[in-house]
Amino acid sequence: MIQVKNLQKLFKIKKRKPGFLGSIQSLVYAETDWIRAVDNISFEIGQGELVGYIGQNGAGKSTTIKMLTGILKPTSGEILVNGVDPSRDRKKNAFQIGVVFGQRSQLWMDLPVEESFDLLRSIYKIDSAVYKQKIELFSDLLGLKDFFQQQARKLSLGQRMKADLAASLLHSPKVLFLDEPTIGLDLLVKERVRTFIRQINEEEKVTIILTTHDVQDIEYLAGRIIIIDRGKIAYDGGISNFNRILGNDSAVSVHFQIPVDLKTVPKPFEIKEKVSANNYIIRLPDGEPLSLLLEFFQSKAYPLQEINREKPELGDAIKKMYAGREDE
């Protein structure tokens, strides 16, 4: 569905000298430099995949998405979205993709949502019967009719996001680009939006690329992640495998019946935090059985009340990756 091969994007910037004199000199002659925003990346995404495309600010995420949607033209390399080169045939590409930006809207702010949708129906030449079917579907899944007659500027953030999601899918796109789709939403609305995205992906087989700083969105929705770092792909694969590569350690919360002065635990276990005299957080290395820790507590006659093992989080693994990079 999406093929990216040796993709590069360079931006030319002017280097200004400091001070008033430097500003004057820059008017006559300014040195230039090149920034490599995307640096020779390649990947493929199949039909129906839901991929998390993540990275730090300035890593190259937005630049990649803008090239995939046809907004920017690559410096070099190849892109095909469902067989179409986005920069060469922007109109054809626009008819087969949907785009949602969490901090921007494709609705007309002074019009009711219904009229914005009617304009989009005309732009994309959507059949009336298909349009009616779509509106009924979105009403069931997103509660669209609750605010369908309201002016777009008067919608809450959650309502606007639901409307933008529905608007991006009116024309039945093959590919959907989601940029921060749950930013600023409360927990209940986030859950509904995530459920909707997953349902559209599974039932309609829409290929989805999700860029977000909300790691919970990635963990809940994506089966695969692509991490871009300083313009290069740092990782491409499953979430569980990514955790495993960086050390799939667990955190174990231990509650004792009485206060315990726990100063050491047998290696390779490690005390991460003393929450209280009754509660400790212990690091459990990947592959090490929890039974060894339990045997240690029994040998010390420490009366256990409760022990909980928390699964490794993607966010912790990503932090570890960037921490390792800074150490280098």
Is residue 186 domain-shared with residue 287, that is, in the same domain?
A: no
Is residue 136 domain-shared with residue 253, that is, in the same domain?
A: no
Spatial distance between the Cα atoms of 194 and 179, rounded to a whole number of angstroms: 13
33 located within any domain: no
Nearest alpha-carbon partner for 176 in 277, 39, 63, 53: 53
Q: Is the pTM of this model over 0.85?
A: no
Is residue 263 domain-shared with residue 142, that is, in the same domain?
A: no
135 CB contacts (<8 Å, ≥6 apart)? 117, 144
129 located within any domain: yes
Is residue 205 domain-shared with residue 103, that is, in the same domain?
A: yes
Residue 216 confidence (pLDDT): 81
Residue 317 confidence (pLDDT): 65
Is residue 164 domain-shared with residue 301, that is, in the same domain?
A: no
Q: What is the CATH number of the domain that holds 208?
A: 3.40.50.300
Question: ∠273-277-281 over CA atoms, to 5°?
Answer: 25
How many domains does one find in the chain? 2
7 located within any domain: no
Last residue of a domain, one of 206, 221, 243: 243
Q: CA-CA distances (angstroms) from residue 218 to 21, 52, 178, 212?
A: 49, 6, 12, 8
The gap from C-alpha 159 to its chain's centroid, in whole angstroms, comes to 20
Alpha helices in the chain (DSSP H): 19-28, 61-68, 90-94, 113-123, 128-142, 157-169, 187-204, 215-221, 239-245, 290-299, 314-327
295 CB contacts (<8 Å, ≥6 apart)? none
The CB density around residue 119, as the number of other CB atoms within 10 Å, is 14
Is residue 151 domain-shared with residue 71, that is, in the same domain?
A: yes
Is residue 229 domain-shared with residue 106, that is, in the same domain?
A: yes
Last residue of a domain, one of 195, 221, 243: 243
Is residue 193 domain-shared with residue 53, that is, in the same domain?
A: yes
Alpha helices in 209-313 (DSSP H): 215-221, 239-245, 290-299
Is residue 165 domain-shared with residue 255, that is, in the same domain?
A: no
36 located within any domain: no
Residues 292, 297, 301, 307: is their CA dihedral positive or negative?
Answer: negative
18 located within any domain: no
323 located within any domain: no
The answer to whether the beta carbons of residues 34 and 11 sit under 8 Å apart is yes
Residue 328 confidence (pLDDT): 47
Is residue 52 domain-shared with residue 82, that is, in the same domain?
A: yes
Is residue 199 domain-shared with residue 289, that is, in the same domain?
A: no
- 313, with CB counted inside 10 A (0-12, 13-18, 19+), is middle
225 CB contacts (<8 Å, ≥6 apart)? 51, 52, 53, 54, 218, 235, 236, 237, 238, 239, 242, 314
Phi, psi of 310, rounded to the nearest 5 degrees: -100, 135
The answer to whether the beta carbons of residues 321 and 227 sit under 8 Å apart is yes
Where in the sequence is the domain holding 95, given as residue range(s)? 45-243
23 located within any domain: no
Per the document, the length of the chain is 328
Give SS3 for 34. Answer: strand
Average pLDDT per consecutive 10 residues, the chain (328 residues; last block may be shorter): 94 75 68 87 95 88 92 94 93 93 85 94 93 91 89 91 92 93 83 90 93 84 90 86 63 86 84 86 75 84 81 64 57
Is residue 108 domain-shared with residue 211, that is, in the same domain?
A: yes
Q: What is the CATH number of the domain that holds 304?
A: 3.30.70.1560
Last residue of a domain, one of 198, 213, 243: 243
Phi, psi of 142, rounded to the nearest 5 degrees: -120, 0
229 located within any domain: yes
Spatial distance between the Cα atoms of 92 and 74, rounded to a whole number of angstroms: 18
